[in-house]
Amino acid sequence: MHFDDLLVIIGGFGRYQKIRLFLICLVGILCAFHAMNMVFVGAKPDYQCKISEVNLTRKEFVNTTFRDFEIFLRTAEKGCEIYSPSQTYDLIVSGNLTIDGSTVKGDVNLAKDSCDDWEYSRDVYGPTIVSEFDLVCSQAWLRSTAKTLYFFGRVVGSVVFGQLSDIFGRKPIFLAGLLSLLVAGCVASAAPSMAVFIPFYILQGAAQTGLYLVAFTMCTELVAPQYRLMAGFMIQGFYSIGYMALSLLAYFIRHWRYIELTITLPVVLFSVYLCVLPESVRWLLSKNRMDEARTIIRNVAKVNNVEVSDTMLEDINEKKEQAEESDVRKHTFIDLFRPLAMFAISINVWFNWFVNAMVYYGLSLGTGNLGGDPYINFCIAGAVEIPAYVLCVLFLNKLGRRWPLCGTMVIGGISCIVSGFIPDDLLPVRITFAMIGKFGITASYAIIYLMTAEVFPTVLRNASMGVSSMVAKAGGMLAPVMLELRFVWIPLPLILFGGLSILAGCLALILPETAGRPLPQTVEESLSNKSKTVKQEKWDDGKNTVC
């Protein structure tokens, strides 16, 4: 008996699965904390040059003159240079220079001094790595570099943790991800400099991504085929809850070190999963560890109040999965580029992944640039993800994949562009359009994830998903760099995000429709797109309800 058939008999989504699925999904909240914490940990508060105390205490100044003196000094180049305090003071005393606020009266050439100390506003943010390590002016590049390197860590995590989970099992790598996240988060929160913070922030990215990928796999392998779509979107929903909760934590905690600790220390609570969570039965069967698999299956049946006979357990197999694995060994990464039709599909899919990831993280990390309260903006950006996932679950099977993917990306792209041109005095309208853009890109990200698993044949599916994940991380690495373009022209990042989204959405219409069709087993099936629908023919891999 195939395991999928047995799973339906013992309860494909019974009490056992519901409890474990909920416990695994809780990790999604934790992963969201660490995926988005740089929005507040690395926030850039308003700042200005700090004038040396020697000049602040000169008794010759009356209060009004002194205040004008401070304002004038800082007008040389806001935040990075000031007019020489000593020279300016001497000219004022000699009567050769008069100041009125930021206006100079007098025909003099003033020298400029570079700032070596700054004052940071506490009106919006508390202490951040920017204010503590002076990541402004000549050191501003370290802030965006830290974000980019974090996504590099995510690339490493997606590759390393994925491979290790296939070799050593889901459960031990899941627990290793938790331990890595605990160590990285605690050390980063106590970092005395950026030289210490950045390496452990990279590790934080690797651990967070690896943990989430393994958790996602455990969710989908835990339930029967017809519940996999729901299980996948369920953990994404918990991710969105963590997204929103982070804004509340950051609002009340403020200090970046305490934010890091607060989102890291709960990892300790997940240590109980060592005794609660089972290993994936599918993985055990793939490794021919039959006795362990049968023990877990009996436990599942017991909790779900279903009787399972020894005959069923003796005949259990994963022949179809094993056959797929043997086919995979006959194909290589090169087959994603041949024939020409497969090459076109691969490039199209990967471009969609790249754009989706770049725009998603660009909008997420850039909520502080929209204006208004960054905490509220960030919370709304997380909240719009939940209805996006709900609509995907409700309508994807009815409307297909291509048109919803195109529609959500085009709508999201247009909304981003419009948001970029809305003036400051219409702030609520600007934020509304930005959130529509976030809604669209969240939905399209979920659709392309699902569509990738459906459009590539079984013999290339693992390879294609691996490349897609790496391309997406590359897009995420580019997002912080794109956000810095606002210093060239404020609307430029949103225009680029929107334009690329529209382009990728239109290209998605060229991809084959996959809704209601069996998963292709071979390259020929994938390219022909002539398979019967699910209603006409039972899928030969037992996964007719994956999507």
Measured distance CA(127)–CA(229) in Å, rounded: 41
Inside any domain, residue 148: yes
What one-letter code names the amino acid at 41? V
What one-letter code names the amino acid at 174? F
DSSP 371-437: SS-HHHHHHHHHHTHHHHHHHHHHHHHHH-SHHHHHHHHHHHHHHHHHHHHS-GGGHHHHHHHHHHH
Handedness of CA 105, 108, 109, 110 (dihedral sign): negative
Under 8 Å between Cβ of 346 and 511: no
Residue with tokens 């002076």: 134
Q: What is the pLDDT along the chain (547 residues), one digit of tens a residue?
A: 677 778 888 888 899 999 999 999 999 999 999 999 999 999 999 888 887 654 544 545 544 466 666 776 776 666 788 877 777 777 776 767 776 654 555 556 777 878 888 889 999 999 999 999 999 988 988 988 898 899 899 888 887 887 788 788 889 999 999 999 999 999 999 999 999 999 999 999 999 988 988 888 888 888 887 787 788 888 889 999 999 999 999 999 999 999 999 999 999 999 999 988 989 888 888 788 888 988 998 899 899 998 887 777 776 754 444 444 444 445 666 888 888 898 999 999 999 999 999 999 999 888 877 778 899 999 999 999 999 998 888 888 788 889 999 999 999 999 999 999 999 889 899 999 999 999 999 999 989 988 887 788 766 766 677 788 888 988 988 998 899 898 889 899 999 999 999 999 999 999 998 876 766 767 777 777 544 444 433 333 333 333 3
Inside any domain, residue 345: yes
In angstroms, what CA-CA distances link 42 with 34, 119, 127, 362, 431?
Answer: 12, 16, 9, 14, 21
Inside any domain, residue 485: yes
Helix (H) or strand (E) holding 149: helix 141-168
Q: What tokens were used for 21?
A: 């699925």
Measured distance CA(447)–CA(170) in Å, rounded: 25
Could you tell me if 379 and 275 lie in one domain? Answer: no
Inside any domain, residue 133: no
Could you tell me if 356 and 467 lie in one domain? Answer: yes
What one-letter code names the amino acid at 481? V
Measured distance CA(162)–CA(209) in Å, rounded: 10
Could you tell me if 316 and 443 lie in one domain? Answer: no
Per the structure, the count of domains in the chain is 3
Inside any domain, residue 130: no
Domain boundary among 304, 330, 356: 330
Residue with tokens 């099977």: 397
What one-letter code names the amino acid at 226? Q
Measured distance CA(265)–CA(316) in Å, rounded: 41
In angstroms, what CA-CA distances link 339 with 293, 325, 452, 520?
Answer: 40, 22, 18, 16
End-to-end CA distance of the chain: 23
Could you tell me if 463 and 364 lie in one domain? Answer: yes
Inside any domain, residue 128: no
Could you tell me if 99 and 157 lie in one domain? Answer: no
Inside any domain, residue 502: yes
Inside any domain, residue 132: no
Measured distance CA(98)–CA(156) in Å, rounded: 59
For residue 156, how far is the Cα from the chain centroid?
14
Domain that holds residue 382: 331-547
Secondary structure, 3-state, 192-227: CCHHHHHHHHHHHHHHHHHHHHHHHHHHHHHCCHHH
Could you tell me if 172 and 110 lie in one domain? Answer: no
Could you tell me if 157 and 296 lie in one domain? Answer: yes
Task: Residue count of the chain, please give it.
Answer: 547
DSSP 219-254: HHHHS-GGGHHHHHHHHHHHHHHHHHHHHHHHHHH-
Domain boundary among 87, 120, 153: 120
3-state secondary structure of 406: helix
Could you tell me if 79 and 26 lie in one domain? Answer: no
Under 8 Å between Cβ of 213 and 465: no
Residue with tokens 């497969």: 342
Helix (H) or strand (E) holding 99: strand 98-100
Could you tell me if 89 and 218 lie in one domain? Answer: no
For residue 274, how far is the Cα from the chain centroid?
26
3-state secondary structure of 172: helix
pLDDT of residue 538: 38
492-508 vs 458-483: helix crossing angle, rounded to 10: 160
pLDDT of residue 53: 53
Domain boundary among 120, 155, 184: 120
Measured distance CA(501)–CA(512) in Å, rounded: 19
Cβ neighbour number for residue 478 with a 10 Å cutoff: 17
Handedness of CA 215, 216, 217, 220 (dihedral sign): positive
Note the helical H segments in 456-491: 458-483
- What's 512's domain CATH number? 1.20.1250.20
Q: Is the pTM of this model over 0.75?
A: yes
Measured distance CA(546)–CA(226) in Å, rounded: 6
Could you tell me if 268 and 302 lie in one domain? Answer: yes
Could you tell me if 289 and 424 lie in one domain? Answer: no
Could you tell me if 341 and 281 lie in one domain? Answer: no
141-168 vs 170-189: helix crossing angle, rounded to 10: 160
